[in-house]
Amino acid sequence: MNFVTDVLRELPGDRPALVSISPGGERAEWSRDECDRRSAAISTALTAAGVPRGGVVMTMIGSRPEWVWTMTGCLRSGFVALAVSEQLRAADLELRYRQVQPSAIVADERNREQIEASSPPCPVIWVPDEAIWELEGPEPVELDALDPAFVMFTSGTTGEPKAVVHGQRYVAGQRLQAGDWLDARPGDLVWCTAAPGWSKSARNVYMAPWTLGATAMIHDGRFDPEERLELLDREPVNVLCMAPTEYRVLVKRARPRPVEGLRSAVAAGEALNPEVLEDFHAATGLWIRDGYGQTETGHTVAHPPGSVPPPGAMGKPLPGVRLRVDEGELCLDPLSDPTFFLGYIGEGVSHDGAGSWEVTDRREGGEWRSGDRVREDGDGYLYFEAREDDIIISAGYRIGPVEVESALLAHEAVAEAAAVGAPDEERGQVVRAVLVLREGFEPSDALAAQLQEHVKAVTAPYKYPRIVEFADELPKTTTGKLRRASLRDG
């Protein structure tokens, strides 16, 4: 199996495989053959940089063609791709170096400052660089379903983010959600707005559209609701996949309108409130079809094409996927999930940094307990209620409280820190920090603002606490463990 031979080369040659929109609004089209050739060229560049088959290639590129070509080049040659967000800072990158041991990095020049500050342990290939695309490349290699394909980082509540490893089966398994949720069809133009570095971007920006013969569109720009509507007016988009926060902001700050040719609008990443569903439908005539999945599982729950979603429901299990609700927790039979992960690095999966992997497939390890509180109605629809752990989901970003707390504790004024989610009308949740100050420091609005800027400087800015509160002490258990639930409830 190989994504290039099984999917990319099966696309029609008479229309674009990829449409890219630059930050300035310039449009470019890239054919199937050009994407094939350029993915081969970057594969040659990576091999020349010393990347072995099975070696990890980290990308820090925005929504640009170079990112698609690099990811495809990795799938072509059996390299393992780790896409990271351009919002990461040096400390975030250093964590990933320690866990993953990349063999090379492909990065946009605009990220040079953070990359160089992180002291990368491997060669860095900078893009854009037109010389790369003149290289001759290799033919795709034959791969096995259990060969590692991607590393994706998720957040935890008791320590550092975990490195999730997906095999090549994750690539082939996208066909299920591509047809039964995303609703990509041959000849469509599909626009998934997720930025590189998030699991939804890995599967739905280009893999799922190409799998079903559609053209993928990418836009290298920050979210602006008016610009988003202008692009939808200009480009013949048939399928739109956005974060719930983007739909919320679009409804509240812009004026959504019917879009000629737009057939499917989907969302995933956090719960979508019923008011947005109603307002978007009233403005466009389309129902936003919600969905659900985890970094470890891929997409597992969806509203199928053509359905009218019950308010607040995230959908039903995808065909063949076996889910059940056990005492309020969503549980999955991994053997029924075509995109289930291989395991975490350090937990069933090991990597020597030189391309050799040892995998004990977690899919064979029994039922997967999601950690998500879910209820099921009499018609089989699933409704997300809360997380059993403390992950904060803000504007689609999954934020581990430990990461925020660690950043705050690095400031000289902070003695203790707790981070929890607080409800927010647009973002779903925002980060709320409750702090105990060191002796000699006094609470003030100025100090709160200083701490917010500090967090932005030492970790990805989306993690910063939008609410900062001060307290004399934090709630703890008798054994001294922080009781975040008390802060959430309070």
Specify the pLDDT at position 158: 44
Cα(75)–Cα(212) distance, integer angstroms: 18
Cβ pair 271, 384 in contact under 8 A: yes
Cα(191)–Cα(344) distance, integer angstroms: 30
- The structure's pTM equals 0.87
Specify the pLDDT at position 479: 47
Q: Is the peptide bond before 128 cis (omega within 30 degrees of 0)?
A: yes
Query: Which strand ranges, in their side-by-side order, compose the sheet holding 215-219?
Result: 27-31, 16-21, 215-219, 189-192, 239-242, 264-268, 288-294, 298-302, 316-317
CATH T-level assignment (fold) for domain 392-489: GMP Synthetase; Chain A, domain 3 (3.30.300)
Specify the pLDDT at position 157: 42
* 84 three-state secondary structure: coil
> In sequence order, what DSSP letters do the residues of 253-318 get, joined into one string?
HS-----TT--EEEEESS---HHHHHHHHHHHS--EEEEEEETTTEEEEEPPTT--PPTT--BEEP
Cβ pair 332, 371 in contact under 8 A: no
Centroid of chain to Cα 60: 13
For domain 3-376, the CATH architecture is 3-Layer(aba) Sandwich (3.40)
**Distances from the Cα of 391 to the Cα of 418, 420, 463, angstroms:** 12, 8, 12
Cα(211)–Cα(132) distance, integer angstroms: 26
Q: For each successive 10 residues of the chain (490 residues), what is the average pLDDT?
A: 98 94 96 98 98 98 97 98 95 94 98 97 97 96 98 68 95 98 97 92 96 98 94 97 90 90 92 84 96 95 94 94 95 98 96 94 96 92 81 86 86 91 92 94 97 95 96 74 76
Sorted by where each begins, the domain ranges of the chain are 3-376, 392-489
DSSP 221: S
Specify the pLDDT at position 436: 92
Q: What are 198-228's pLDDT values in tens digits?
A: 889 989 999 999 999 999 999 999 999 999 9
Cβ pair 289, 309 in contact under 8 A: yes
Cβ pair 107, 124 in contact under 8 A: yes
Cα(377)–Cα(309) distance, integer angstroms: 13
Specify the pLDDT at position 477: 57
